[in-house]
Structure 1
Amino acid sequence: MTFTELVNAPKRYLKKELLPVLADLRLAIVLLLAIAVFSIAGTIIEQGQSVQFYQANYPEKPALFGFLTWKVLLTAGLDHVYRTWWYLALLILFGASLTACTFTRQLPALRWFSRTWNFYSQPRQFRKFALSAEFPKAGIDQLLPLLEQRKYKIFQDGDKLYAHKGIVGRIGPIVVHAAMLLILLGGIIGAMTGFIAQEMVPSGATFQIDNVTDAGIWAAPQIPKDWSVKVNRFWIDYLPTGEIDQFYSDLSVLDQNGKEVDRKTIHVNEPLKHKGVTLYQADWSIAAIQVRLNNSPVLQSPMARIDQGSGRIWGTWLPLKPDMSDGVSLVAKDLQGLLLVYDMDGKLIATVRKGMAVDVKGLKLSIVDLIGSTGLQIKADPGIPIVYLGFGLLMLGVIMSYVSHSQIWGLEKDGAIYIGGRTNRAQVTFEREFLGILEAIDQGKSESTPTQLAQT
């Protein structure tokens, strides 16, 4: 093997071996199905949860479907499907397949189309058309106004003619491929540079985004360090039945000097967006309770969530004596202010509402306030604008692909005119249009009749 052959060997392998495999439609379908299956799995299986969560919901005995346990799930990366190497590899391979198909099939087809602009100079060339006709004693000038009337773009070279309309129908599939590549690119960028965080913040507190639950390998620059968020107030609106109607968080974005640079009251489906980071209202909790014993200063005691069968309740223990030898438990189920008071033996001894007082073991227990915590889900995905652009182009490309691309050739030779045409879709409509042109020519030249007409 010569040096030149050695240098050109990779190029020949790429062109003759690798590109045909990548451009194979069957490979693209298999990759698309695999991406769809794993995307569905990522939607069904909770993403970015703790190990304890998966151990509790996907135990080894009994295993889900007989094989899916928390160990299998974590080992395969099904807890963060969209950021696994194999899912990204599927996206990249599918993108390579689309690119190969575009360069080996779509663009060559467009180049082939440009060659069809060549004028036909021999009558025998019109025999290949599904629709063709010959009119003796007719001229090319009779065809021109009929094509102009039907919005064809006409090219003429003496006695030869070419006309077409609906060229966007040939470009549409290329736009669809480009759009799908943009969507894949946006998905990969989002998976590599995006992050998801969760914060539970008491009303009145200020926080920075620290509790990142899922992030791409290049996500660190996206996690903000130069600004923080203050929860000015968190509250819940309740229905008359006592059920939650909506919960709200009044949030302020603060710069490094503590100056407010953005502010918004968020609720479910109405997030706050700042510098590419989106803060969603996702959950709530009870952070603490403020009480007063007799005429004491306001005492604040943190409340913890109590695990139980259904619903959610929070509780705290409040000492009544300095040596903590006696006390009561306070239990609440929401922020409406109703609390249950239990003694050391677990016996219910009183109920009290926020802003009211009750006598407990010789002391006046006043409930000053219940402090709620807002649960925020925080996301950043730099690939979203690219994905949206891709979907926009995809819709445009699909619409373009439905446009019929129709072509008509004409030739005047030896006192006769030869006409042929074809289209890539809407065959019946084109046949009617083509026959209408022939009828118009026949009526305009009554002494001439079509001597040949072939159609499928």
Structure 2
Amino acid sequence: MSGQAEGMVDKVWNVFSSMKTGLVLLGVIALVSGIGTLIPQESMDPQKAQSASEIFKMMGFTHVYSSVGFRLILGLLCVNLMVCSIQRFGGIYNQTYKPKLPSALSTLPQKIQTKVTGKANQLQQVTFDLFKLEGYRLTAEEQEDHWSFVAQKHRWGNWGSFLTHISFIVLVLGALVGSMTGFKGYFSAGVGDSLSIHDIELNRGTVTDNFNIKINSVEDRMLANGERDNWYTDLSIMESGKELARQTLSVNHPFTYQGITFYQANFTQGGKFTVEIKGQKIPIVLQNQGGNYYQVPGTDLFIIVSAIKPDPNQPVILYQVYKGNSPQPVKMGQMNKGQTDTIETTFKLTFDGLAGYTGLQVKKDPGVSVVWIGSALLMLGLILSFYFRPVTISGIIEKDTEATLTLGALSGKLKSRAEEELDKVARQIKDKLDQ
């Protein structure tokens, strides 16, 4: 049984260590990503996703990125990259820190070679001194009939592709952590409103935190020349009536609390009102163009604002009052700031002035820090790959009276560069010998 188990493990290992497996998984990911790009996703545009074809919804095409299948494919790709990286690690480590010395002329790189002749001791001294002067790391060994050595420059470049592969693993893991443990949502609120973090409209994920959000002020600031400055929201984090944090956020200047980030998404003009009923005065904020409504307590009357003239000095609003499910308003009117209207002898409505209505996106993504680490690894891998391309030159000096130095360079993908470096070294050695 143990032999069968080991055989199965070897088969699975061979599958995940195959480049073909990686290419197939990348192809599937590209196909699924194409579907997610062409078909609106619930996590990005809920309204468009709802209007998508019922067939697409049934097949799960409107939430492909959050599906178990897509996450499974990403996980399999991570496994494939990890297995390939594990297999390559030993070779890269030995190539960087424990290069194999040539034991005979036949073990030198054959594609790019050159020879230099001279007296044995002088040839050895000049060669070793020159490599060190040119910034090479030299590993040498003396045998009875020859000296063998390996000279390395930019040996850290060997790790470039390895770090690039590792970075993709970290990036995928960061994306998975964010999609599985975070959330993304939206809410709209007026000045003075307070709501629980659980009341926001979620596009994905689940809220596990527990606190309230209070909107202290909302402002659409204008510059002296009449151009818009920015939208500003003064927001407090509340818990058990105690203010835990407070900050003013604006477009491109979010506010983060315990890993939850609030982004200024939009601004809508609104009006502040006071509803007076049975001796009780209730402050409310209504959004322009019927963005929200208020039901008067103990009645089936609903108030909306249909239009606003946002003049800071003389604001004017148009309001409508509906009763029950009636499609026609039972009352509509125009009010200036400070004006009060009596509605059906039931309650009084006073327009107190303009009030902003803010729209905020809320996002928690624990995978962001992991993604940043992956991005840093990717950048480091690319820098090592493109700007620190390793050069490895092996050589053997035969201990004859007229010794021969045979040099061979590993060409890799840039054969011309290896040839240039080898010719340069050989030429400098000859010049030193002639001096």
User: Which residue does 1:407 correspond to in 2?
Assistant: 392
**What's the secondary structure of 2:64's corresponding residue?**
helix
3-state secondary structure, aligned to 1:375: strand
The alignment's TM-score, normalised by the length of structure 2, stands at 0.79
Q: Secondary structure at the match of 2:115?
A: strand
What is the CA–CA distance in structure 2 between the aligned matches of 1:224 and 1:111, rounded to whole Å?
Answer: 45
1:164 to 134, 146, 152: 152
CA distance in 1, matches of 2:342, 2:4: 92
Q: TM-score, normalised by structure 1?
A: 0.75
The residue that corresponds to 1:338 in the other structure is: 316
Q: Does 1:92 align with 2:52?
A: no
Q: 1:278 aligns with which of 217, 242, 261?
A: 261
Contact preservation (8 Å) 2:118, 2:433: no
- Secondary structure of 2:209 counterpart: coil
For the structure 1 residues 370 and 31, does the alpha-carbon distance in structure 2 shift closer, same or farther, using more than 3 Å as the test? same
Provide the aligned length of Structure 1 versus Structure 2: 411
Residue 7 (structure 2) pairs with residue 12 (structure 1): yes
Q: Could you tell me how far 1:407 is from its partner in structure 2?
A: 1.5
Match of 1:419 in 2: 406
Identify the range of structure 1 (205-214 vs 350-359) with the bigger mean alpha-carbon deviation: 350-359
Change in CA separation of 1:215 and 1:291 when aligned onto 2, cut-off 3 Å: closer
Q: Secondary structure at the match of 2:192?
A: coil
| Superposition CA RMSD, Å | 4.2
Q: 1:451 aligns to what?
A: none
1:275 deviates by 0.6
2:89 pairs with one of 86, 92, 107? 107
Deviation at 1:387, TM superposition (A): 0.7
8 Å CA contact 1:168, 1:401 repeated in 2? no
Distance 2:57 2:224 in 1: 44
- Cα distance in 2 between the residues matched to 1:408 and 1:275: 54
Aligned to 2:165: 177
Q: What stretches of structure 1 of length at least 5 have no aligned partner?
A: 1-5, 59-68, 306-311, 448-456
1:19 is displaced (CA, Å) by 2.8
CA distance in 2, matches of 1:335, 1:420: 82
Taking a change above 3 Å as real, the CA distance of residues 208 and 411 of structure 1, as seen in their structure-2 partners, is same
**Secondary structure at 1:411 match in 2:** strand
Change (3 A) 1:195 1:13: same
Q: Distance in 2 between matches of 1:317 and 1:192?
A: 37
- Give the Cα separation in 2 of the matches to 1:328 and 1:99: 61
Question: Which residues of 2 match residues 174-323 of structure 1 at below 5 A?
Answer: 174-211=162-199, 212-216=201-205, 219=206, 223-225=208-210, 227-237=211-221, 246-256=230-240, 258-285=241-268, 289-290=272-273, 303=286, 312=289
Task: Write the deviation string for residues 1-60 of structure 1: whole angstroms up to 9, x where unpaired.
Answer: xxxxx2132332332x333332333332332243344345445614248988645x22xx
Moved more, 233-242 or 156-165: 233-242
For structure 2, the residue ranges without an aligned partner over 5 or more in a row are: 323-327
Question: In structure 2, do the counterparts of structure 1 residues 147 and 176 end up closer, same or farther at CA, with 3 Å as the change threshold?
Answer: same
Question: Which residue is 1:38 aligned to?
Answer: 32
| Mapped partners of 2:98, 2:280: distance in 1 | 91
Shift of 1:324: 11
- Give the fraction of aligned pairs with identical amino acids, expressed as a percent: 23
